[in-house]
Amino acid sequence: MKFFSFAVAALATFASFASAAPLPIETGLEARGQAVSSTALKVPTTQEFINQHLIKAPRKNKSLFWTGQQAATDARRLRSVALDLAAKQGFDIVGEMLSDDALRLINGPKAPINKLSAAAANKFVEEASGAFAELSTGDVTIMMEGDPTTGPQPEAGSVFARIERPILEERAAHGTQAITGAFRIATNFKTTGVKVPFKL
């Protein structure tokens, strides 16, 4: 149950606007027993997200990632801050990069994702997040709560730590050096403007 709530919170980071319909938790639970129905959504892989244009590339230097320091971090709260930063400071965030086709899979009470198991829904988030990291170029920005210099590191089990960070690290280290730098900001970046180099 706890795991499922976490998956829903993670999925909530994908809706384009704060006013978008919240994911229907009750419907999702009812639908879980039907997860094996023949119309079940097959979760696209990271490569399929990219190849099938389910996600657009963020602009160079504009990718914004956000993550918690512990599993219990309220992803919805960070999401609203990220949406605001994207709108006012010109960052690109994963939910904003998803195509209409991808959004149709996850938005609304009848969305195919509600038929998935919690684990499969989580997988959807992870694959899309991986694609966002794969498509990021230039300097990337990571928003976390706490002081950007002294604050705790990302929670080890987070999508950022497990999925996005290794991809960014790889893209920074080898070959074309598609990622040129990483910076950490706090949730109050809009007022402080403080960004601190972040070791991937």
Ligand X SMILES: *[C@@H]1O[C@H](CO)[C@@H](O)[C@H](O)[C@H]1NC(C)=O
* Contact set with ligand X (CB under 6 A): 60-61, 138-139, 180-181
Which C-beta is closer to ligand X: that of 29 or that of 178? Answer: 178
Nearest CA among 118, 112, 113, 117 for reference residue 3: 118
Give, as one character, the DSSP assignment of residue 174. S
Which C-beta is closer to ligand X: that of 11 or that of 64? Answer: 64
Q: How far is the CB of 51 from ligand X (least distance, A)?
A: 25
CB–CB of 195/141 below 8 Å? yes
Residue nearest to ligand X (CB): 61
Q: How far is the CB of 87 from ligand X (least distance, A)?
A: 19
Q: How far is the CB of 60 from ligand X (least distance, A)?
A: 4
Q: How far is the CB of 139 from ligand X (least distance, A)?
A: 5
* b (16+ CB within 10 A) / e for 135-164: bbbebbbbbbbeebeeeeebbeebbbeebb
For residue 197 the two structure tokens come to 């180099």
**Distance, CA of 195 to CA of 113 (rounded, Å):** 36
Which C-beta is closer to ligand X: that of 83 or that of 179? Answer: 179
Which C-beta is closer to ligand X: that of 126 or that of 139? Answer: 139
